[in-house]
Amino acid sequence: MLSAILGLSLLALTLAALLVWVARRFPADSDPLVVEIETLLPQTQCAQCGYPGCRPYAEAIAQGHAEINRCPPGGTATIQALADLLGCEAKPLDESLGEEKPPLVAIIDEASCIGCKLCIQACPVDAILGAAKRMHTVIADECTGCELCIPPCPVDCIDLIPAPQVASLPNALKRAQRIQMQVRA
Amino acid sequence: MSDFNNDIGQQLHRFHGGLQLRHYKQISCTESPPFIAVPKQLVVPLQQHAGLIAEPCVEVGQRVLRGQRIASAQSGISAHLHAPSSGTVSAIEARWVHHELRCQAVIIDCDGLDEAVALTPLNGWTQSAPESVVSHLQAMGVVGLGGAVFPSAQKIHQSLHQEQNIHTVILNGAECEPYLSCDESLMLSRPEEVIRGAQILCHAAQAQQVIIAIEDRMTEVEKRLLQCIKTKNLSHIQVVQVPTYYPEGGERQLIQVLTGEEVPSGGYPQDLGLVCFNVATAQASFKAVEHGEPLIQRLVTVTGQSVQHPGNWWARLGTPVDDLLRAAGGLQQAVDRIVMGGPIMGRCLIDTQAPVVKASNCILALSNAEVHDPQGELPCINCGFCVRVCPARLLPQELHWAVRSQQLDRARDYGLMDCIECGCCDQVCPSHIALVEDYRLGKHQLRVQQQEQQRAQLAKQRYEARQERLQQHEAALAARRQVRKSPASKPLDAKARIAAALAKKRQQKAAQQATNTTPPTSSDEDRS
Amino acid sequence: MSQGQTPSLQVGGAPHLPPPRSVASIMREVLYALIPGILAHVWYFGPWILFQLLIACTFALLAEWAMLKLRQQPLKPFLSDYTAVVTAVLFVLCSPPLMPWWVSAIGMFFAIVIAKHLYGGLGQNRFNPAMVGYVAVLIAYPQVMTQWLPPQMLFDELGLRSLDIGQGLWIILTGTPPEALTWDTISQATPLDTLRQGATKNLLINEIRVSPIFGQFGGWGWEWIANWYFLGGLWLLYRRVISWQVPVAAIATVVFLTLPFFLMDPDAHPFPMQHVFSGGIVLGAFFIATDPVSGSSTPMGKLLFGVGIGLIMLVIRRWSAYPDGVAFAVLCMNMLAPLLDRYTRPRIYGHER
């Protein structure tokens, strides 16, 4: 009896020591799950999820603090990808945070801009260019369409327009898509 | 890599797969093609070339002359457009080119005078630098006329500015698709112009030799080209007959047949020291350089079972297809669809008012009987016929499954981006699956996906950079606060600071009122 | 046509000309290629196979119809594609000619319902339906599936009684011979069975081959049927319905693996041609293993597929309880086909050699 208890304890201790040594010897470089989650997020940095950016949201998901359905720009596709990665059920998008929209870019009505710099401070990806009392402009290629610049603007001179696509989907391909839907249904 | 390979064309090679198709070519191959009269109205779409759409440089109501530039190339891959005849610009509006392309078009109401601008040939091009020939071709709006409509000037420009020198220019006269005969007809009727064009392109690309590849059934063409080469005593131009085997006319397959080498995946023929042009492009280059004529007309094959008298016609760009069909004796009732291009890769037209564009090598009116498919689509039975004929050595059925199940990564892994959309797999598929449509959808989705990933990557980088900058800023502020809190620095009186700030503000306002009359000249300031 | 009057034009994706071939036309060609072999079968073994074909095709089409109904699939395109007929014909050509009708029905149930439709129907079946059906009844009715008739011409020589039409139909309908007959008086072991039994008794090949059921190089009659299958196969090759890799690899494997044994000891091992022309290897190599759906589709994969079939078949012939192993070999290789496809992808144009 005693020898059994001692033996098992010894075994547990040895294994624990081994585990500690392995953990010290081969440290995990960064939390890989966070990185994997982050690559699935659209990097809009819009903070609609309630976290200040995509990285914080990814961290929150990884720690189990956040649901996976809080990313309106990513929409259904992102939720599905996250569900696949984390092995959980895909949920419908939390509509209270925003709705899924086609990709947008901000555009500043340059005639009404007063050069207040508020939008520049709000932009999470530094895609607005301008100086105090000078007209501002949006670098369309770098804008993520996060809408964060809209509320601060005192003169409402920022609009969102559909982002330019690679190429519009050729008509003939719509047929193929229709077939695809039939196949999936 | 060998710099200059003199044996090109001496020994022919084979490419994988391909199809022996009935070519239906004799029916429309005439010796000297007639001209179609200038119509009452010309529709010149601004997207007639690969790359970015041209920007119109005329206004509605403006009078334009034949050969006058009406739209300018954007920076990047793009080409100029010229007025095909004189008249008044009546509108600039969206028009259908074919069923997948609707774009802005310049509508010209012709006055029937066909008045031309002063033509500017590039005299003495043999002595001029290759760059000046290239920029002349760009100014004349010359694009590849084989179907891909890639701007020729930019093709040569790229090859002049790369490490690998171009040693051979290949002129592609092998129309592999059935029905097409415009290139054969061009070489029969104007062999000198093709040969002169070949010399110009050879000079512009700084190549040592030219190979004109024609199909082995074109014996008469060979005779005329050789005679022309002989009288001009051009030893660096040779004519090579290649087997009539679809898709022989595809650039990559033709190169494989002539050289036995394969163009690297994602690369260009230029990587092998080769550059390919269609024979019609050579003729257009000749016209542009020696006569100063911009690309405003092209040779079009009008054929198909629904056409009474098939043949080739010279048509101004922008001419409605209807005029060509009438020249060919009109349509028969049984017409099912009208295709721009060949039957394997062509695009359908929405109606007969669609204009002739730079890519319109063929107008094909197919009858119900030709198109009728009693079976319809069945599931893939993995028969492997497509594997046998694919010239890119892909596994088309795997790509089909991957795209249909939206496994895009798998499709890319199986080489979806290496598909040349030749349609061989489609032609042999016993289940009659629209394979190429699947591939085009998959490719499109892959491109969108890739672009999104790039955008996300960029946004992430910029977000991280900003976070870092904000942190540094914060740290600097904290450090300053630390310094201020220390007894050595005495804080200013708060009221005095506010007063100072207000005074500064007033000053600024006054200054701004003064400058308001003159708007800021530069809006882009250094943002870094 | 006058100006302004625009005909209504169809719009569709390229290519615009329909492919010349269809699933039905391919399957029809396979059936045509089997006709000489079937006629030879009738010549040597009597007309029973024609009844069997009728029975099996009926059940196959019934099963197909029922499953299409259940799966709510369109009936016309799938019933008229001849795939079920080809399955039924191949099943019958593997089975003994006097098998009772319910065996055929059960075989077709396994082939069409289980192997084909439960896997997703046309194009989705992982296993060759005809072989699944055959193996199912082979395991369920081992007795019935080994009751083969000798060639008609050898009845007298073997001291057996010949059947008339009524007696043969009686057997097919009831499963037992009419009162005047017993199985022993009408059936005969196949050449392959005879070889196996002889080998277990340590007889020499020449001693075994004295039986009249052996012909020039294979079984008497069987070798000629195989020749006709061979001819049909060549025609399919010429028409490019099948590719050369599978039949060539399978037959070459059989020949090259048995040749050394034959050369070492011709007394204990049969001549390679004996292997090829008895049993189902020719039929299997040209018609069964070339089933596209369940086979490999890359050129290299097809070669390996054929080699595997030859190999497994010989192993089964040599060491297992079954005299012939084509069916099992095909099913085994069907399992490997996706793997073969995955690891034998051809080099894509323009990629590194």
CATH number at residue A44: 1.10.15.40
Q: In chain B, which residues have their Cβ closer than 8 Å to the Cβ of A177? A: 441
- Domain membership flag for residue A14: no
Q: Which residue range is the domain that position A146 belongs to?
A: 102-165
pLDDT at position B32 over 70? yes
Size of interface B-C (CB pairs under 8 A): 173
- Domain membership flag for residue C14: no
- Give pLDDT, residue A29: 62
pLDDT at position B519 over 50? no
Q: Is A184 on the interface with C (CB under 8 A)?
A: no
Which residue, chain included where needed, has tokens 């080994």? C146
- Domain membership flag for residue C218: yes
pLDDT at position B504 over 90? no
Task: Report d(CA B344, CA B176) in Å as an integer.
Answer: 10
Binned at pLDDT 50, 70 and 90, residue B214 comes out as: very high
Contact B462 A173 (CB under 8 A): no
Task: Report d(CA B142, CA B129) in Å as an integer.
Answer: 18
- Give pLDDT, residue B445: 87
Q: CB within 8 A of C166, min separation 6: which ones? A: C178
Give me chain A's average pLDDT, please: 81
Residues in chain B: 528
% of chain B exceeding 90 in pLDDT:
48
Binned at pLDDT 50, 70 and 90, residue B136 comes out as: very high
Residue of A nearest to B434 (CA): A176
Phi and psi angles of residue B155, each rounded to the nearest 5 degrees, phi first:
-60, -45
- Determine contact, residues C88/C57, Cβ cutoff 8 Å: yes
Q: What angle do CA A163, A164, A165 make, to 5 degrees?
A: 110
Contact B463 A130 (CB under 8 A): no
How far CA B145 is from CA of B183, B308, C348, in Å, comes to 10, 26, 28
Nearest to C214 by CA among C303, C278, C294: C278
Contact B440 A54 (CB under 8 A): no
Contact B466 A124 (CB under 8 A): yes
Domains located in chain B, CATH noted: 26-120+130-301 (3.40.50.11540), 374-481 (no CATH)
Read off the pLDDT of each residue in A31-44 and give the average, rounded to a whole number: 84
Shared-domain flag, residues A122 and A91: no
CA distance B235 to chain C (A): 31
- Give pLDDT, residue A141: 80
Read off the pLDDT of each residue in C165-178 and give the average, rounded to a whole number: 85
Q: How many CB atoms lie within 10 A of CB B486?
A: 8
Binned at pLDDT 50, 70 and 90, residue A180 comes out as: very low
* Per-residue pLDDT reduced to its tens digit, B202-212: 999 999 999 99
Q: In chain C, which residues have their Cβ closer than 8 Å to the Cβ of B381? A: 23, 83, 122-123, 292-293
- Give pLDDT, residue A184: 40
Please name every residue paired with B107 in a beta bridge, in sequence order, or none if there are none. B43, B91
- Which two three-digit tokens encode residue C347? 């080099």
Q: What is the ipTM of this complex?
A: 0.89
- Domain membership flag for residue C40: yes
Chains that touch B (3 or more CB pairs under 8 A): A, C
Contact B430 C18 (CB under 8 A): no
Binned at pLDDT 50, 70 and 90, residue B491 comes out as: low
Q: How many CB atoms lie within 10 A of CB B513?
A: 9
- Domain membership flag for residue C248: yes
Domain stops at, among A53, A82, A97: A97
Shared-domain flag, residues A77 and A112: no
pLDDT at position A173 over 60? no
Residue of A nearest to B513 (CA): A133
- Give pLDDT, residue C118: 95
Q: In chain A, which residues have their Cβ closer than 8 Å to the Cβ of C13? A: 172-173, 175-176
Please name every residue paired with B35 in a beta bridge, in sequence order, or none if there are none. B314
Shared-domain flag, residues A138 and A160: yes
Q: At what angle do helices C48-70 and C83-94 cross, to 10 degrees?
A: 140
Q: In chain B, which residues have their Cβ closer than 8 Å to the Cβ of C298? A: 384, 387, 395
- Which two three-digit tokens encode residue C164? 């008339």
Q: Which residue range is the domain that position C201 belongs to?
A: 190-343
The dihedral through the CA atoms of C129, C131, C137, C140 has a sign that is: negative
Domain stops at, among C146, C169, C188: C188
**Quick one: DSSP state of residue C219?**
B
CA distance C41 to chain B (A): 28
Among B84-88, B91-95, B113-117, B507-511, which stretch is predicted with the lowest mean pLDDT? B507-511
- Domain membership flag for residue A9: no
Nearest to B200 by CA among B237, B175, B230: B237
Shared-domain flag, residues C150 and C140: yes
Task: Report d(CA B263, CA B266) in Å as an integer.
Answer: 8
Q: In chain A, which residues have their Cβ closer than 8 Å to the Cβ of C121? A: none
Shared-domain flag, residues A80 and A121: no
- Give pLDDT, residue C159: 72
- Domain membership flag for residue A108: yes
Which residues of chain C from 233 to 262 reach within 8 Å of chain B, CB to CB?
A: 240, 243
- Give pLDDT, residue B1: 40
CA distance B268 to chain C (A): 10
pLDDT at position B402 over 60? yes
- Give pLDDT, residue B488: 57
> How many domains in chain C?
2
Contact A176 C13 (CB under 8 A): yes
Q: At what angle do helices A32-40 and A54-62 cross, to 10 degrees?
A: 130
The dihedral through the CA atoms of C306, C308, C312, C318 has a sign that is: positive
- Give pLDDT, residue A165: 58
- Give pLDDT, residue B210: 94
Contact B99 A171 (CB under 8 A): yes
- Give pLDDT, residue B389: 94
Please tell me the pTM assigned to this model: 0.81
Contact B437 A176 (CB under 8 A): yes
CA distance A100 to chain B (A): 16
- Domain membership flag for residue A45: yes
Q: In chain C, which residues have their Cβ closer than 8 Å to the Cβ of B403? A: none
Strand order in the sheet with B274-278: B237-242, B209-215, B168-173, B274-278
Chains that touch C (3 or more CB pairs under 8 A): A, B
% of chain C exceeding 90 in pLDDT:
54
More confident residue, C250 or B51: C250
Binned at pLDDT 50, 70 and 90, residue A178 comes out as: very low
Shared-domain flag, residues C169 and C46: yes
Domain stops at, among A67, A97, A127: A97
Cβ burial of C201 (10 Å; 0-12, 13-18, 19+) is exposed
Shared-domain flag, residues A86 and A129: no
* Per-residue pLDDT reduced to its tens digit, B433-486: 989 988 988 998 898 888 888 888 888 888 888 888 889 999 999 999 888 877
H or E, element range at C61: helix C48-70
CA distance B124 to chain C (A): 40
Residues in chain A: 185
How far CA C39 is from CA of B410, C42, C46, C100, C134, in Å, comes to 47, 5, 10, 21, 21
Shared-domain flag, residues C171 and C27: yes
Residues in chain C: 353
CATH code, domain carrying A115: 3.30.70.20
Q: Is C25 on the interface with B (CB under 8 A)?
A: yes
Q: In chain A, which residues have their Cβ closer than 8 Å to the Cβ of C11? A: 171-172
Q: In chain C, which residues have their Cβ closer than 8 Å to the Cβ of B429? A: 19
- Give pLDDT, residue B249: 85
Contact B378 C81 (CB under 8 A): yes
Task: Report d(CA B279, CA B194) in Å as an integer.
Answer: 6
Q: In chain B, which residues have their Cβ closer than 8 Å to the Cβ of C76? A: none
Q: In chain B, which residues have their Cβ closer than 8 Å to the Cβ of A144? A: 455, 459
Helix locations, B111-218, DSSP H: 130-139, 152-160, 182-189, 191-204
Spell out which chain A residues touch chain B, with contact meaning CB-CB distance below 8 angstroms: 38, 41-45, 53-55, 110, 124-127, 129-131, 133-135, 137, 141-142, 144, 165-167, 169-173, 175-177, 179-180, 183
Strand, coil or helix: B7: coil
- Domain membership flag for residue C350: no
- Which two three-digit tokens encode residue B496? 């005095």
- Give pLDDT, residue B515: 61
- Give pLDDT, residue A31: 67
- Determine contact, residues B392/B421, Cβ cutoff 8 Å: no
Please name every residue paired with B501 in a beta bridge, in sequence order, or none if there are none. none
- Domain membership flag for residue A15: no
Shared-domain flag, residues A79 and A111: no
Contact C292 B99 (CB under 8 A): no
Give me chain B's average pLDDT, please: 87
- Domain membership flag for residue C141: yes
Identity of the amino acid at C18: P
CA distance C12 to chain A (A): 7
Read off the pLDDT of each residue in A50-78 and give the average, rounded to a whole number: 87
- Give pLDDT, residue B72: 92
Shared-domain flag, residues A109 and A86: no
More confident residue, B24 or A112: A112
Q: Is C349 on the interface with B (CB under 8 A)?
A: yes
Domain stops at, among C188, C203, C234: C188
Size of interface A-C (CB pairs under 8 A): 8
Strand, coil or helix: B192: helix
Side-chain-side CA neighbours of residue C142 (13 Å) = 5
> How many domains in chain A?
2
- Give pLDDT, residue B400: 94
More confident residue, B246 or B495: B246
Q: How many CB atoms lie within 10 A of CB A21?
A: 10
Contact C349 B371 (CB under 8 A): no
* Per-residue pLDDT reduced to its tens digit, B155-182: 998 888 888 889 999 999 988 788 888 8
Read off the pLDDT of each residue in B29-58 and give the average, rounded to a whole number: 88
Shared-domain flag, residues C57 and C196: no
Shared-domain flag, residues A47 and A90: yes
Domain stops at, among A97, A119, A151: A97
- Which two three-digit tokens encode residue B120? 């500017």
Among A92-106, B374-388, C251-265, which stretch is predicted with the lowest mean pLDDT? A92-106
Contact A55 B463 (CB under 8 A): yes
CA distance A55 to chain C (A): 37
- Domain membership flag for residue C233: yes
Q: Is A176 on the interface with C (CB under 8 A)?
A: yes
Give me chain C's average pLDDT, please: 87
- Give pLDDT, residue A77: 83
Q: In chain C, which residues have their Cβ closer than 8 Å to the Cβ of B331? A: 1, 7
Contact B523 A125 (CB under 8 A): no
Across the interface, which of C19, C124, C351 has its CB nearest the CB of B379?
C124
More confident residue, C217 or C296: C296
More confident residue, A80 or C62: C62
Strand, coil or helix: B2: coil
CA distance A171 to chain C (A): 9
Cβ burial of B34 (10 Å; 0-12, 13-18, 19+) is exposed
Nearest to B406 by CA among C262, A176, C110, A64: A176
Query: What does the CA dihedral B312, B154, B339, B328 come to, rounded to 10 degrees?
Result: -20
pLDDT at position B65 over 80? yes
Domain stops at, among C188, C214, C231: C188
- Domain membership flag for residue A171: no
Strand, coil or helix: B220: helix
Among A96-105, B180-189, B412-421, C116-125, which stretch is predicted with the lowest mean pLDDT? A96-105
Strand, coil or helix: B72: strand
- Domain membership flag for residue C7: no
Strand, coil or helix: B74: coil
- Determine contact, residues B389/C21, Cβ cutoff 8 Å: no
- Domain membership flag for residue A17: no
Shared-domain flag, residues C234 and C255: yes
Binned at pLDDT 50, 70 and 90, residue B122 comes out as: confident
